[in-house]
Chains A and B, each alone.
Chain A
Amino acid sequence: MPTLSSGNVPPSVAGVDRDLDMSAHPAAIEARHLDFYYGEHQVLFDVSLTVPERSVTALIGPSGCGKSTFLRTLNRMNDLIEGSRCQGEILVEGQNIMEPAVDVVLLRKHVGMVFQKSTPFPKSIFDNVAYGPRVAGEKNRAVLADLVESCLRKAALWEEVKDRLTTSAMSLSGGQQQRLCIARTLATDPRIILMDEPASALDPASTDRIENLIGELCANYTIVIVTHNMQQASRVSHQTAFFYKGKLIESGPTMKIFTHPSEKKTEDYITGRFG
Chain B
Amino acid sequence: MSEQNPSGKTARTNAGSINGVSINGESATRRPAVSFISGGDRHIRSRLMLSRVFAWLCRFSTYAALAVLVVLLAAIFYSSIGRLSPDFVTNTNSTSPLKAGILAGLWGSFWLILFTAMFSVPVGVGSAVYLEEIAKDSMLVRIIKVNLANLAGVPSIVYGILGYTVFRTSAAAIATLFDGKHLIGVLGLFKVRLSKLPIYEDNILVGALTLTLVILPTVIAASQEALRSVPSSIRVASLALGATRWQTIWRQVIPAALPGISTGVILSTSRAIGEAAPLIMLGALTYTSMCPGGIESPLELLTKPAQLLQAPLDQFTAMPIEIYDWSKQPDARFTSVAASGIVVLLVVLLSINSVAMVVRHFASRRLKW
Chain A contact residues, CB within 8 Å of chain B = 75, 77, 80, 82, 105-106, 108-109, 112-113, 115, 117, 119, 121-124, 131-132, 135-136, 167-171, 181, 184-185, 188, 264-265, 268, 273-274
**What would 6 A/B residue contacts be, using CB atoms closer than 8 Å?**
A108-B240, A115-B236, A119-B233, A132-B242, A135-B241, A273-B1
Query: Nearest B residue to A264 by beta-carbon distance?
Result: B2
Query: Nearest B residue to A127 by beta-carbon distance?
Result: B368
Whether the pair B4, A105 counts as a contact (CB closer than 8 A) is: no
Whether the pair A82, B136 counts as a contact (CB closer than 8 A) is: yes
Whether the pair B242, A105 counts as a contact (CB closer than 8 A) is: yes
Residue from the set B234, B237, B241 with the largest chain A CB neighbour count within 10 Å: B241
Query: Nearest A residue to B230 by beta-carbon distance?
Result: A122
Residue from the set A119, A170, A268 with the largest chain B CB neighbour count within 10 Å: A119
Residue interface mask B245-262, A partner, CB < 8 A = 1: 001000110011000000
With A121-B252, A122-B369, A135-B243 as contacts: A273 and B233 at CB distance below 8 Å: no
Partner of B238, one of A121, A185, A264: A121
Query: Nearest A residue to B246 by beta-carbon distance?
Result: A135
Which chain B residues lie closer than 8 Å to A135 at the CB level?
238, 241-244, 247, 251
Whether the pair B369, A170 counts as a contact (CB closer than 8 A) is: yes
Is residue B19 within 8 Å, beta carbon to beta carbon, of the partner chain? no
Q: How far is the CA of A197 from the CA of B238 in the complex (A)?
A: 18
Which chain A residues lie closer than 8 Å to B122 at the CB level?
none
Whether the pair B368, A273 counts as a contact (CB closer than 8 A) is: no
Whether the pair B242, A188 counts as a contact (CB closer than 8 A) is: yes
Query: Nearest B residue to A132 by beta-carbon distance?
Result: B241
Partner of A75, one of B2, B136, B231, B240: B240
Partner of B234, one of A121, A132, A274: A121
Whether the pair B234, A119 counts as a contact (CB closer than 8 A) is: yes
Is residue B5 within 8 Å, beta carbon to beta carbon, of the partner chain? yes
Q: How far is the CA of A115 from the CA of B235 in the complex (A)?
A: 12
With A122-B256, A170-B368, A268-B5 as contacts: A115 and B239 at CB distance below 8 Å: no
Whether the pair B8, A121 counts as a contact (CB closer than 8 A) is: no
How many Å from the CB of A82 to the closest CB on chain B?
A: 7
Q: How far is the CA of A274 from the CA of B2 in the complex (A)?
A: 9
Whether the pair B2, A265 counts as a contact (CB closer than 8 A) is: yes
Whether the pair A273, B2 counts as a contact (CB closer than 8 A) is: yes
Whether the pair B239, A80 counts as a contact (CB closer than 8 A) is: yes
How many Å from the CB of B365 to the closest CB on chain A?
A: 11
How many Å from the CB of B94 to the closest CB on chain A?
A: 54
Q: How far is the CA of A82 from the CA of B2 in the complex (A)?
A: 37
Whether the pair A273, B5 counts as a contact (CB closer than 8 A) is: yes
Whether the pair A80, B256 counts as a contact (CB closer than 8 A) is: no
Is residue B26 within 8 Å, beta carbon to beta carbon, of the partner chain? no
Residue from the set A121, A184, A264 with the largest chain B CB neighbour count within 10 Å: A121
